[in-house]
Structure 1
Amino acid sequence: MLVWEPKKYKKCHAEFDDKIKLYKLQGHIVPSRNLIKTTEQIAGIRESGKINTAVLDSLAEYIQAGITTEDIDQLVYHKTKELGGIPAQLGYKDFPKSVCTSINDQVCHGIPSKDVVLRDGDIINVDVSTIYKGYFSDSSRMFCIWDVDEEKQKLVRVVRECVNLGLEQVKPWKFLGDMGQAVHEHAVKNGYSVVKEIGGHGIGLEFHEDPWVSYVSKAKTEMLMVPGMIFTIEPMVNIGTDEVFLDEENGWTIYTVDGKPSAQCEVMVLVTDDGHEILAY
């Protein structure tokens, strides 16, 4: 048995690599070996994801009208540290806070501030990222502040549905475009648009890895999904136009051009041998 196990191992990996090469010969985009995580790496990323999810869970009872986005930042910082992690966003490319808090027409990368107070009727995306023992995780949720109008409630519901429909397409030997098309079609069916310029990303050993993940892509295009790949699904869905602009003053926050609300929901997902596993949500 000891003699044959290494041969079986090598044969298994050779078959795996040959399958990827076949897709490449057919003209498809395939992942490089360094994007395919080992069992040990997956275990570490999974633990990081548990902390990330727990931090978001802990916010649910605190987020309400009257608190500031700086309050949210402090809650995220202290909870992450309490659980043994490090906020991945703090200091990343000089980002000044531990979390992104994006309200109403802010598409993403809202910077917490003691001057920004949550108000009745707001919707807010809280985007948490964690480093734990060198492994990275990332996920976000939408929160509705008290009496949110029906238009915003529907937007928040639909963006969650988009993510769930995208997840249904995450299977080995399918394509990121299969997931992207499912997301995009559901948003458009509900009368919304999806931001083109900003997408998801690979993650795990670094905060942002390849591939870049689009949510306006077509089925059977984009990178081949294979077991061991980890990436985020995080569409940004707008009530109005998909056009956005950068706040040049702070260099981070993205807004909708027409001032209408945007919503985002983010999960971190692992492609498995028979489907997928959500590692952070």
Structure 2
Amino acid sequence: MIFLKNAEEIELLRESNLLVGKTLGEMAKHIRPGISTLELDRIAEEFIRDHGAVPGFLGYGGFPNTLCISVNDAVVHGIPAADCFLKEGDVVSIDCGTLMNGYYGDSAYTFEVGEVKEEVRKLLRVTKEALYKGIEKAVAGLRIGDIGYAVQSYCEENGYSVVRELVGHGVGRDMHEEPQVPNYGRRGQGVKLAEGMVIAIEPMINLGKRYVFQDSDGWTVRTRDGMPSAHFEHTVAVGKHGADILSSFEFVEKELSRL
């Protein structure tokens, strides 16, 4: 079942999603060669709790941490670890969730660690641009397939591949609600978008082939060919004339501009 949100609920969702954006901004201050992913996770949990929320991912489906931190060939759902240290040239996707006033926030950003190869930097740029191409189609009256087609066509035109096994989703009182929001599809196909739908759009795009596998930890999803992957995510409310982006990259980009 798809739960449409009223204006009051959307504002509560915005509050939770803005805190995710602020948490990602806090991560931008600390991402550097030599820091462990578990230390980033600790900083994020403290930051979220200090702002009156609880980590949305911690314990969700048994997940053991606050953040999903996925480095290089890890696509999503990477588990923070004390012995996993970021190094120069890495790319790291940080996916964060919060639960505040009964509603979830969910957003992700892929960061560069120091100097990154130009081909990988381009992958990140195109993936982020594809996210906004998808958001442009989150309009009442269009369909889920229009979002997926916008993401897929843009990424494939640039020579990248789209992960099929993982998709975006509805967001509300539960972290994962209906409908599913694939990053591939056909225009005019799928669930019809309606005003009040709140969905997470999250392109997961690979430099190499689209094929992935689940690591032995039971969580981390990696590219089968070992090539890097990028992941960007916004939670948006579908509107009559366009999407209302409830999460924010503003806090991240403000910090990155200082570097």
TM-score range, shorter chain: over 0.9
* Pairing partner for 2:21 from 43, 53, 62: 53
Counterpart in the other structure of 1:96: 64
After superposition, the CA RMSD in angstroms is 0.9
Contact 2:138 2:239 in 1 (8 A): no
SS in structure 2 of the partner of residue 280 of structure 1: coil
* Structure possessing the higher relative contact order (Cα contacts under 8 Å, 6 or more residues apart): 2
* TM-score normalised by the chain length of structure 1: 0.87
Cα distance per residue 1:45-103 (max 9 Å; x no partner) = 11111111111111111111110000110111001001111001101111110000000
Counterpart in the other structure of 1:276: 243
Letter of the aligned partner of 1:252 in structure 2? W
Cα distance per residue 1:252-274 (max 9 Å; x no partner) = 00000000011010000101232
More divergent stretch after superposition (104-113 vs 265-274): 265-274
Q: Does 1:183 align with 2:148?
A: no
Counterpart in the other structure of 1:164: 132
Deviation of 1:279 after TM superposition, in Å, equals 0.5
* Pairing partner for 1:224 from 192, 196, 206: 192
Q: Does 1:79 align with 2:47?
A: yes
Q: Percent identity?
A: 39
- Looking at CA atoms only, which structure, 1 or 2, has the larger radius of gyration? 1
Deviation of 1:216 after TM superposition, in Å, equals 1.2
* TM-score normalised by the chain length of structure 2: 0.94
Deviation of 1:215 after TM superposition, in Å, equals 1.1
* Pairing partner for 1:202 from 159, 164, 170: 170
SS in structure 2 of the partner of residue 154 of structure 1: helix
Whole-Å separation in 2 of the counterparts to 1:191 and 1:276: 27
Counterpart in the other structure of 1:42: 10
**Residues matched between the structures, number:** 248
Whole-Å separation in 2 of the counterparts to 1:148 and 1:69: 18
SS in structure 1 of the partner of residue 246 of structure 2: strand
Whole-Å separation in 2 of the counterparts to 1:63 and 1:140: 14
Whole-Å separation in 2 of the counterparts to 1:264 and 1:50: 18
1:187-266 paired onto structure 2 within 5 Å: 187-247=155-215, 249-266=216-233
Deviation of 1:39 after TM superposition, in Å, equals 2.1
Structure 1 runs not aligned, ≥5 long? 1-31
Whole-Å separation in 1 of the counterparts to 2:143 and 2:55: 31
Deviation of 1:202 after TM superposition, in Å, equals 0.3
Whole-Å separation in 2 of the counterparts to 1:73 and 1:61: 13
Whole-Å separation in 1 of the counterparts to 2:39 and 2:190: 39
SS in structure 1 of the partner of residue 241 of structure 2: coil
